[in-house]
Amino acid sequence: MNHKLSPSLLAADFGNLERDIEMVNNSKADWFHVDVMDGVFVPNLSVGTPVIKAIKRLAKKPLDVHLMIIDPDRYIQHFKDLGADILTVHYEACTHLHRTIQHIKELGMKAGVSLNPHTPVSCLEEILSDLDMVLIMSVNPGFGAQKFIPGSLDKIRKLNELKKKHWLSFDIEVDGGVTLDNAQNLIDAGVTVLVAGNTVFASDDPVLMIQKLKTFK
């Protein structure tokens, strides 16, 4: 199965957001990755409702929305209304994770769960069959352009082993420090969705960079 690529708009030029969205629309990318930060769960703030509305209006590909916020249950309907196609919450932010996942799916979105670098994949074993995606954070969440944490590869391998053990088909997404240098290793470890922000938007030719990131098998 060919992997998907979800360019992270956190690294886009917000002074030229329409231009960058059109670039992704016309590229070989599969999704738009949209990070939502509240300044509490992570030490940073990111896009809010007006920006996501604008993204949805312009985007011709699915919105892969990653909530890095406390109490995400309060906002599931809100992000459905904004146009999220995939909604990912953090394991560390959900008291009743199964209920949260069921709510996301009842509203017609695909449901993902993200794990911070310190959280083992074993925490998800009892709920993996309910998930459409698991997002492995390969940096500490909150800021772009961070260096990849090498131990993330072993974590991805462990998750992929669980996926195979239980005959499951959820996507394994990785976010943080994804580059041309480590993309092949990530895919070999079991990743099916690459999130790339700075690698795409800071390159001299973002369309070509997206094409290169899609060529790995």
Distance CA(199)–CA(70), nearest Å, equals 28
Which listed residue (20, 35, 132, 171) is catalytic? 35
3-state secondary structure of 119: coil
How many Cβ atoms from other residues are within 10 Å of residue 73's Cβ?
Answer: 15
| Concatenated DSSP letters of 138-166 | SS-TT-SSPPP-TTHHHHHHHHHHHHHHT
Task: Tell me if residue 175 is catalytic.
Answer: yes
Terminal-to-terminal C-alpha distance of the chain: 8
Q: Which residues are CB-contacts of 6 (< 8 A; sequence separation ≥ 6)? A: 29, 30, 31, 32, 33, 64, 173, 193, 194, 195, 196
Q: Which of 38, 64, 171, 175 is catalytic?
A: 175
Q: How far apart are CA 31 and CA 24, in angstroms?
A: 8
- Could you confirm whether 188 is annotated as catalytic? no
Q: Which residues are catalytic?
A: 35, 175
